[in-house]
A and B are shown apart, each in its own frame.
Chain A
Amino acid sequence: MNRLGVDFLGFSLKNPIAAASGTFGFGKEYAEFYDINQLGAVCLKGLTLHKKAGNDGVRIWECTGGMLNSIGLENPGVKAFIEEYEETQARIQTVKIVNLGGDSLEEYVEGARLLNQIDIDILELNISCPNVKSGGMLFGVSEDSAYQVTRAVKDITRFPLMVKLSPNVADIAVIAAACEEAGADGLSLINTVQGMAIDIQNRRAVFDNVYAGLSGAAIKPIALRMVHQAAKAVNIPIMGIGGIYSGRDVLEFLMVGASCVQIGTAGFIRPTKLMEILAELKAYCEENDLFLKEIINII
């Protein structure tokens, strides 16, 4: 019997570990290092309706226990993704999660509509994107815009919808509840925490955009707290994200309310790191006679 199996949005995941969006490309590169279908799910690189060239200047910066990134959602656009989807699909037999961002409500809706043409498993809505119409404020920081974008996409998509929440908000419980009310089938959190890096030699901010997204071990306590708060506020399942580096970290996220997790930055330690974390988790479950389903949301 599989001790690692969990249920999520109608899928039986063989284990709760997924690759996080933006840290796994479209699955091609890591497929050279290990069988990526051993993962419970994969979240592909974030898409936007139109192709994006991404940000100029420094894009990544190391910090103690993590990293900052300002990639700027460089991606080929939804149409190009769809054109090459046959190849992507052939590579990935595990649960496929497609991550969609946008700068306006219309872009999100049109992106989701086009994605209906292909067979994906779950649509992950990245609402940590600037809302051009409301002066660049992130969709994910206000209850109203989080509700609106979730509702609009839910109305058009034919896939289970998971909304990915930004941690850069006053009250995550309020945003989580707004997404649930708007029809989200699940939530994933957290996206990166807003941070900053300084180049003292040149006396300036490292990133052209000044602020950037912090990820990795440094954000794990924040992520645990937020998953816990969200889990208390909603009845839909949650995918926990943020600073997971070990099998024990995965257990922590399940205990505070996540049904499964995504891992990003830890994958940069070495290509096979996610497999190591999976092996640790498996060993722990066997040694402790544990079935993961038993510990979800027990705290």
Chain B
Amino acid sequence: MALILENKPIASNVFQMRVAANQQVKAGQFYMLRAWENIPTFSRPISICDQNGEEMTFVYEVKGKGTEIFSTLQAGDEIELMGPRGNGFVLKGQKCVLVGGGVGIAPLLLLAKRLREQGAQITAYLGFRSEEYLKEDFARYCHRIITDVGGKITDVIETESFDCAYICGPEVMMQAAWDKLKHSAEQVVVSVERRMACGVGVCLGCNIKTRQGNKKVCSDGPIFAAEDVFYE
């Protein structure tokens, strides 16, 4: 159980939760979050958005019963954290581009911070549905930020060479970003989202078909090489 320090809306239907937790985590990893016993059945996988010493931040969109319950929690309440789970991003490259759509930008923030610590130069494309959020946080680590509200962020991606591209968002958006970046970025990775039951690799419910065969998003992922995911 982790103590909630703050839980507030930062855009319509988007919340930011800060919890007291001191664990070693990688950017791109997630936790299975739970604030109830039996119902809803599943815990909710939420990516780590930021980590500062004794604190961890999650940014989540209210999409169903589980995240709705999360949104009612207050500072002083507790939340169950199971994790960190998943492989996380491999930090690579000196010239990097991040492409995030919707709450898919959340894991990219901790990634930007870690890449910046390694001295990387970062360009971030951030797509929002109705209003911008977390932009100032990205501004601390990114060299250049391009945002879009209500349209398609992938339409404004400029052809430029990068060492590595990191993409997280809805599947169609990731596919479009891959199409734009596959020739200009040496390596492209995507963070895949799936419904999860166990979160540890036993139920095979979070399956993704990749070029190397079936993979489990919870334990083999959620980060995959884009070429292995969009191979058809």
Contact = CB atoms under 8 A, between A and B. Distances in A.
Interface in B1-51: 34, 37-43
B214 A53 contact: yes
Interface stretch (A86-94, A183-191, A261-269): A261-269
Contact of A25 (B41, B82, B202): B202
Interface stretch (B126-134, B148-156, B170-178, B193-201): B193-201
A271 B203 CA distance: 12
- Tell me if A's interface is mostly helix, strand, loop or mixed: loop
Nearest to A59: B205
Contacts of A53: 213-214
Q: Which of B39, B197, B219 has the most CB of A within 10 A?
A: B197
B204 interface: yes
Interface string A57-96: 0111111111101010010000000000000000000000
Interface in A224-273: 245, 265, 267-271
B137 interface: no
Given A56-B209, A58-B195, A60-B195, A268 B38 contact: no
Contact of B203 (A32, A33, A217, A268): A268
A245 B38 contact: yes
B207 interface: yes
A136 interface: no
Contacts of B214: 53-54, 74
A162 to B, nearest CB: 21
B80 interface: yes
Interface residues of B, number: 27
B205 A25 contact: no
A24 interface: yes
Contacts of A69: 197, 203, 205
A270 B80 contact: yes
Interface in B199-232: 199-207, 209, 213-214, 219
User: Could you tell me the dominant secondary structure of chain B's interface residues?
Assistant: loop
Given A22-B203, A23-B203, A74-B214, A66 B41 contact: yes
Contacts of A22: 203-204
A54 B3 CA distance: 40
A54 to B, nearest CB: 6
Contacts of B202: 23-25, 29-30, 45
A216 interface: yes
B197 A268 contact: yes
B42 A25 contact: no
Contacts of B207: 54, 59, 71, 74
B80 A216 contact: no
B204 A268 contact: no
Interface in A1-60: 22-25, 29-30, 32-33, 45, 53-54, 56, 58-60
Interface in B157-209: 195-207, 209
Contacts of B43: 268-270
Contacts of A32: 200
Nearest to A71: B204
B198 A268 contact: yes
Nearest to A266: B38
Contacts of A60: 195-197, 203, 205-206
9 contacts: A29-B201, A30-B200, A54-B214, A62-B41, A63-B41, A64-B39, A69-B205, A268-B199, A269-B34
Interface of A: 22-25, 29-30, 32-33, 45, 53-54, 56, 58-67, 69, 71, 74, 216-217, 245, 265, 267-271
Given A54-B207, A268-B197, 15 more contacts: A22-B204, A23-B202, A24-B202, A29-B198, A29-B200, A33-B200, A64-B39, A65-B39, A66-B41, A71-B204, A71-B207, A265-B197, A269-B34, A269-B38, A271-B82
